[in-house]
């Protein structure tokens, strides 16, 4: 399977409620994933999405920007899955295939937060939104949410460029 991990460029380590003591006595950020397992996390405004194969060999890296909503970014790898519907503007089918995976969706048709809620309710570890072709050549801007549902979203949400999204889809279909 093709796997993604999120690289940390800018860390915000202020929230002690998300931290736990490690064996060495330092504070480490943690959160519980969709399978109920605690994993390290981090906060960032921008970062690098690394796509690796099943042997953990890096295939490509892509810049990302985070949403103005959602949870901390996972440090561990998670598989990537393209859901049905591919824009996540409606309830996602196939929860068993989405559990604890990054969901790769297209921008458009609904709020970013609606996409994240549908991914979260399907058990996804996070949301990756592919920016629209009209914005090609620019690093995606931050992703706003609908004011009424921002507080519901606990999974991380990021956006990548249209070209990056096409490359990831190619990696997924050729894996």
pLDDT tens digits, 37-94: 676 665 557 777 788 777 778 888 888 888 888 887 777 778 888 898 999 999 998 8
pLDDT of residue 37: 67
Q: Is the model more confident about 41 or about 118?
A: 118
Q: Is the model more confident about 42 or about 103?
A: 103
End-to-end C-alpha distance for the chain, whole angstroms:
7
């Amino acid at each position: 399977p093709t796997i993604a991990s999120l690289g940390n460029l800018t860390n915000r380590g202020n929230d002690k409620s998300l931290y736990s003591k490690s064996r060495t006595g330092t504070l480490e950020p943690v959160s519980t994933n969709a399978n109920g397992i605690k994993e390290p996390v981090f906060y960032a405004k921008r970062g690098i999405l690394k796509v690796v194969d099943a042997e953990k060999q890096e295939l490509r890296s892509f810049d990302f920007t985070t949403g103005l909503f959602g949870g901390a970014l996972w440090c561990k790898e998670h598989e990537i899955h393209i859901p049905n519907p591919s824009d996540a503007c409606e309830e996602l089918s196939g929860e068993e295939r989405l559990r604890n995976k990054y969901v790769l969706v297209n921008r458009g048709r609904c709020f970013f937060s609606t996409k994240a809620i549908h991914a979260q309710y399907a058990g996804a570890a996070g949301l990756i939104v592919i920016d629209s072709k009209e914005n090609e050549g620019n690093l995606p801007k931050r992703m706003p949410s609908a004011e009424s549902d921002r507080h519901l979203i606990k999974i991380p949400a990021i956006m990548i460029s249209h070209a990056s999204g096409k490359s990831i889809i190619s990696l997924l279909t050729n894996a």
